[in-house]
Amino acid sequence: MSTDSSTRLPGAARPLRPAVPEATVARLPVYLRALTAAAEDGVDTLSSDELATAAGVGSAMVRKDLSHLGSYGTRGVGYEVDYLIYQISRELGLTQDWRVLIVGAGNLGHALANYGGFASRGFRVVALLDLDAARVGEHIAGLHVDSVDRLEQVVAEAGVHIGVLALPADAAQATCDRLVAAGVTSVLNFAPCVLEVPAGVMVRKVDLSTELQILAFHQQRRVFQVERHPVAGRSRVPLAEAL
């Protein structure tokens, strides 16, 4: 993250609600998904407890999170599903359609372009660019792959809001710079590298191998635990191996 929402225009009027905490924002999409699923099942009301179970968190946290958006529940009853869906969507800005540009038409770019979860939440992939001239012209998910040379043009013409980098690490920074220069202020980076951007541009990183490494850390730690306190339970994999 490179934007600090504090210290903005010294004399500026502070927003009335004291801003939604980052941790809460990260959970809102999870609630939203649970709510959508419930709505499809015909449920029209959920208690914080039920929502908490569906989202895999504690009920107190659900209530506190939702309280940051306003008082949208009814005591003794719970939250009306449709209404809450609307409120969360609005808070997240999903009521408008965001135009997304994916750079990199490799496997990951393909996967992203085909992912159905985007369109239903107001994200529209407007173009798919690739560095490899050989790949230009392919047809993926209703889009034809275009050359990365046309990046600036596409950003300007389509009014791209969010750029997604699904390309090798060595091309990521240069491409990111071009996106930023073209006016994109939100970037989702799948390349395994740290991007430098000017203040005011927001970058989020998704790193596949990082996730595996975190899992490995915990798994290793657990093996040590088991080793010191052997418990009845499967250990198909010889423990010696873990050293």
Partner DNA sequence: TCGACTTTGTGCATTCGTTCACAAGTGCCT
Partner DNA sequence: AGGCACTTGTGAACGAATGCACAAAGTCGA
* 198 lies in the binding site for DNA (CB under 7 A): no
Cα(53)–Cα(62) distance, integer angstroms: 10
User: Per CB under 8 A, which of residues 9..48 are in contact with a copy of itself?
Assistant: 9, 12-13, 20, 25-26, 28-30, 32-34
Cα(203)–Cα(199) distance, integer angstroms: 10
β-bridge partners, 78: 74
* 21 lies in the binding site for DNA (CB under 7 A): yes
Cα(182)–Cα(177) distance, integer angstroms: 8
β-bridge partners, 98: 123
104-136 per-residue burial string, b: 16 or more CB within 10 A, e: under 16: bbeebbbebbeeeebeeeebebbbbbbbeeebb
User: Per CB under 8 A, which of residues 157..216 are in contact with a copy of itself?
Assistant: 159, 161-162, 183, 185-188, 192-194, 196, 200, 202, 204, 206-216
Hey, what long-range contacts does 35-42 have (CB within 8 A, 24 or more apart)? Answer: 35/81, 35/84, 35/85, 35/88, 36/85, 38/81, 39/81, 39/82, 39/85
List the one residue from 30, 39, 63, 207 that touches DNA (CB under 7 A).
63
Say how far residue 46 (Cα) sits from the centre of its chain: 25
User: Per CB under 8 A, which of residues 121..160 are in contact with a copy of itself?
Assistant: 121-123, 156, 159
Q: Could you tell me which stretch among 73-81, 115-123, 173-181, 198-206 binds DNA (CB under 7 A)?
A: 73-81
* 53 lies in the binding site for DNA (CB under 7 A): no
Q: Could you tell me which stretch among 15-23, 94-102, 109-117, 119-127 binds DNA (CB under 7 A)?
A: 15-23
Q: Could you tell me which stretch among 61-69, 149-157, 177-185, 202-210 binds DNA (CB under 7 A)?
A: 61-69
* 31 lies in the binding site for DNA (CB under 7 A): no
User: Which residues contact DNA by CB under 7 A?
Assistant: 6, 21-24, 46-49, 57-61, 63-64, 66-67, 71-79
